[in-house]
Structure 1
Amino acid sequence: MDMKIELVAIPVTDVDRAKSFYVDQVGFHADHDYVLSPELRFVQLTPPGSACSVVLGVGITEMAPGSQKGVQMVIDDADAAHAELSGRGVECSGVDEQDWGRFVYFADPDGNTWSLQQMPPR
């Protein structure tokens, strides 16, 4: 049986601010933005090259804004990722060198945290 993660909820306080951050600064693709009612807005965003998207909006999750911690994406080059994010105004860590990879960390405006991992050579 295959199981594929396709959608991860990101709890935010301001949907438009979060959408702008993820699309304009981090570089995610804006896939959908539907307002179905005053209590339900569905915004789906996808990182470039990813088969998994994120969803944010109104009425999407019961998690408190900022409580999604440590979502991880794999990248090819931690130095390039750091330079690109910094150049787009994203506050991020320097490159963290570990035996299991090279990492860059950042948080969205609500405090949801992300980890970017460059895998070590195999």
Structure 2
Amino acid sequence: MDWTLEVVVLPVSDIDGAIEFYRDKVGFELDHDTTNEYMRVAQLTPRGSGCSIVVGDLPSQSEMAPGSMRGLQLVVADAAAARAELLERGVEVGEITVFDERDGGTLFGFADPEGNTWAVQQIRARADRPLIPVEARGRFGEG
């Protein structure tokens, strides 16, 4: 049986601000923004990812302090290009650090306005072997 991680709940106090940051600055796709009499939930997905983040006011989110998530990790084929893209979009990012010359040993980080932190890891093999093949992305609502 496969077990897939598909959603990470991200604690924030400003749902609109989080949507703006992750959609407009980081470049995640806004999958939905749902409001009813009980809750508001927005789901955003990084391009090429099978896992999304959810921000909102669900009970599980109120159990975590806004900004308390640490070390979420994104993987890219080219750390320098990813860092340049985030800088161009106005995201404050750390310097690139090479911990190991082998693939996977190059990283940089950033934080969202609430203080949730992210590591961006370079795995060059993702350029040729993405986890979700390009031809399958349309089935998941990706472009």
TM-score by structure 1 length?
0.93
Residue type at the aligned position of 1:101? G
The whole-number CA distance in structure 1 between the counterparts of 2:74 and 2:3 is 18
**Structure 1 residue 119: Cα displacement:** 2.4
Higher radius of gyration, 1 or 2: 2
1:102 matched to 2:106: yes
State the Cα distance separating 1:101 from its structure 2 match.
1.4
Q: Judge conservation of contact 2:77–2:124 (CA < 8 Å) in 1.
A: no
Q: Which secondary structure state, in structure 1, belongs to the residue aligned with residue 36 of structure 2?
A: strand
Percent identical across equivalent pairs?
Answer: 51
Counterpart residue number, 2:94: 93
Residue matched to 1:12:
12
* TM-score between both structures, scaled by the size of structure 2: 0.80
Unmatched 5+ stretches in structure 2: 126-143
Q: CA deviation at 1:30?
A: 0.3
SS at match of 1:25: helix
Residue type matched to 1:106 in 2? F
Deviation, 1:58, is 1.4
Structure 1 moving runs of 4+ over 3 Å: none
**Correspondence 1:1-122 to 2 at 5 A:** 1-37=1-37, 39-59=38-58, 60-61=60-61, 62-99=63-100, 100-119=104-123
- Structure 1: state its 5+ residue gaps: none
Q: Residue 71 of structure 2 contacts residue 117 of structure 2 at CA under 8 Å; is this kept in 1?
A: yes
What letter is aligned with 2:26? V
- Per mean C-alpha deviation after superposition, the further-off stretch among 6-15 and 60-69 is 60-69
Q: d(CA) in 1 for partners of 2:109 and 2:27?
A: 15
RMSD: 1.3
Distance in 2, Cα, partners of 1:36 & 1:87: 35
Distance 1:106 1:6 in 2: 22
Counterparts of 2:36 and 2:120 in 1: how far apart (Å)?
33
